[in-house]
């Protein structure tokens, strides 16, 4: 019974969020079991472009460090905000969601050529948090029961938390920058006078990922409940 319940809950996770979260967990498990090492995964332009180790363009987004507080913290935020985006503003638009992944990954890889970052998964998580927070500006957040603020401040609060833990904030700034570029090009600029939609999902992605019919009985995770955890709980103003 427990297995069936877990299986059903796992299959309820939308496909992109399920695939990415699973890949991150399996990659970390493989490193913990010493089947692979982080040296086979990290972002290294020379190894990628001169030795054709192309897999590093993907694997550097899948490893969040050894199992511990930092890994669990990142996995929780990755799972929650990736899922809420896919079930919220990207519901029924899987191809657009995949395109956001590709666009964000491309920009981070490009910026990664100029900064000394070897793993970009945490920056990618911050990008997802940023896009969600900007699309839900009136959600009130609570961080560890200490801070109350509106959703658009969440990425900056996380950056401050990283600073308190002694981590480099370059990762957070990269995620915020890429998230802002995507949000501006997708949500802001097309609605400006004379603005146009620059980001257009390729038709090949639509043919692969988008389905014409949507299950009317599907029960999404509500975007107005980003919490479930003390550091991310929120509610809409006036609710």
Task: Give the whole-number percent of the chain exceeding pLDDT 90.
Answer: 61
52-85 pLDDT, tens digit per residue, is 999 999 999 999 988 888 889 889 999 999 999 9
94-137 pLDDT, tens digit per residue, is 999 999 999 999 999 999 888 888 999 999 999 999 999 999 99
183-216 pLDDT, tens digit per residue, is 999 999 998 888 888 999 999 999 998 776 555 5
Q: Take residue 19 and report the two structure tokens written for it.
A: 């695939």
DSSP strand pairing (233-236 vs 139-143): antiparallel
Does the pLDDT of residue 226 top 60, yes or no? no
The pLDDT value recorded for residue 5 is: 82
154-167 pLDDT, tens digit per residue, is 999 999 888 887 77
Instruction: Please spell the DSSP secondary structure of the chain, one letter per residue.
Output: -HHHHHHHHHHHS-HHHHHHHHHHHHHHHHHHTTSS-GGGTS--HHHHHTS--TTHHHHTTT---SSSHHHHHHHHHHHHHHHHHHHTTTTT-HHHHHHHHHHHHHHHHHHHTTS--S--HHHHHHHHHHHHHHH-TTEEEEETTTEEEEGGGHHHHHHHHHHHTT--SHHHHHHHHHHHHHHIIIIIGGGSTT--------HHHHHHH--S---TT--PPPTT---SSTTTEEEETT-
**Across 169-188, average pLDDT:** 94
Does the pLDDT of residue 222 top 90, yes or no? no
Q: What count of Cα atoms within 13 Å lies in the side-chain half-sphere of residue 9? A: 6
Q: What is the pTM of this model?
A: 0.85
- pLDDT-derived band of residue 228, with 50, 70 and 90 as boundaries? very low
């Amino acid at each position: 019974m427990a297995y069936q319940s877990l299986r059903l809950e796992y299959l309820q996770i939308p496909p992109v969020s399920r695939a990415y979260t699973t890949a991150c967990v399996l990659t970390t498990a493989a490193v913990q079991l010493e089947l692979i090492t982080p040296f086979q995964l990290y972002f290294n332009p020379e190894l990628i472009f001169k030795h054709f180790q192309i897999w590093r363009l993907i694997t550097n987004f899948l490893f969040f460090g050894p199992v511990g507080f930092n890994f669990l913290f990142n996995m929780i935020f990755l799972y929650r905000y990736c899922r809420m985006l896919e079930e919220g503003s990207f519901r029924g638009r899987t191809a657009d969601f995949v395109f956001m992944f590709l666009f964000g990954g491309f920009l981070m890889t490009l910026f990664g050529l100029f900064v000394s970052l070897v793993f970009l998964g945490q920056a990618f998580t911050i990008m997802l948090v940023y896009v969600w927070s900007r699309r839900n500006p009136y959600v009130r957040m609570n961080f560890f029961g200490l801070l109350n603020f509106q959703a658009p401040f969440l990425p900056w609060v996380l950056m401050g938390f990283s600073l308190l833990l002694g981590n480099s904030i370059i990762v957070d700034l990269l995620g915020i920058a890429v998230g802002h570029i995507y949000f501006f090009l997708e949500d802001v600029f097309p609605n400006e006078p004379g603005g146009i939609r620059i980001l257009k999902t390729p038709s090949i992605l639509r043919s692969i990922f988008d389905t014409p019919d949507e299950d009317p009985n599907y029960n999404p995770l509500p975007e107005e409940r980003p919490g479930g955890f003390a550091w991310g709980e929120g509610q809409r103003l006036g609710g």
